Amino acid sequence: MFQLHALDYFIVAFYFLFVLGVGYYLKGRTRSGEDFFLAGRGQSAWVAAISFIAASMGALELMGWAAATYQYGLLAVHWYWIGVVPAMLILGLFMMPFYHISRTHSVPGYLKLRYGESSRVLAAVTFLFMTLLASGISMYAMGLVLENFFGWDFDISIWATALVVCAYVAMGGLTSAIFNEIVQFFLIWAGGFLIPVYGLIEVGGWHKLTEKVMQRAAELTPPGAVVLDRIHIWSTLGSPADNPMGMHWLGITFGLCFILATGYWCTDFLVVQRVLTARDLRSARMAPVIASIFKVSVPLIVILPGLLGFALLPGLQPESPGINASETYNAVLPLMMKRYFGPGLIGLGLTALMAGFMSGMAGNVSAFSTVWTYDIYRSLIRKSAPDKHYLNMGRWCTVLGVLISILSTYLVKQFSSMAVYTQALFSFFIAPLFGTVALGMFWKRASAGAGFWGLLAGMLAATALFFGVRLGAIDPYYLTLSQAPSEMSLYVWQATWAFLATIAVTVAVSLFSSPRPDKELDGLVYGATLLPGEAGTPWYRRPVFWACFSLTIFISLNIIFW
Which of these ranges, 9-13, 81-85, 317-321, 333-337, has the smallest mean pLDDT?
317-321
| Mean pLDDT across 455-462 | 93
The predicted pLDDT at position 560 comes to 93
Q: How confident is the model at residue 10 (pLDDT cuts 50, 70, 90)?
A: confident
Q: Which CATH architecture has domain 6-202+228-416?
A: Up-down Bundle (1.20)
Residue 146 has pLDDT above 80, yes or no: no
pLDDT band with cut points at 50, 70 and 90 for residue 466: confident
For residues 230 and 213, the answer to whether their CB atoms sit within 8 Å is yes
Task: Assign 3-class secondary structure to 5-28.
Answer: CHHHHHHHHHHHHHHHHHHHHHHC
pLDDT at site 416: 55
- The set of long-range contacts for 404-408, using a CB threshold of 8 Å and a minimum separation of 24, is 404/132, 405/131, 405/132, 405/135, 405/136, 405/139, 405/162, 405/361, 405/364, 405/365, 405/368, 406/136, 406/139, 406/158, 406/159, 406/162, 407/136, 408/132, 408/133, 408/134, 408/135, 408/136, 408/139
**C-beta atoms surrounding 474 within 10 Å:** 15
Condensed to tens digits (0 to 9), the pLDDT of residues 392-449 reads 887 787 787 777 777 777 666 555 566 677 777 788 888 899 999 999 999 999 998 8
Residue with more model confidence, 193 or 500: 500
Lowest mean pLDDT, pick from 71-85, 408-422, 471-485 = 408-422
How many angstroms separate the CA atoms of 58 and 65, rounded?
11
Helix axes 194-203, 206-220, angle to 10 degrees: 80
Question: Alpha carbon of 430 to those of 51, 78, 103: distances in Å?
Answer: 21, 18, 22
In whole angstroms, what is the distance from residue 77 CA to residue 436 CA?
28
Q: Indicate the domain borders of the chain.
A: 6-202+228-416
Q: Where does the pLDDT of residue 188 fall: very low under 50, low under 70, confident under 90, or very high at 90 and above?
A: confident
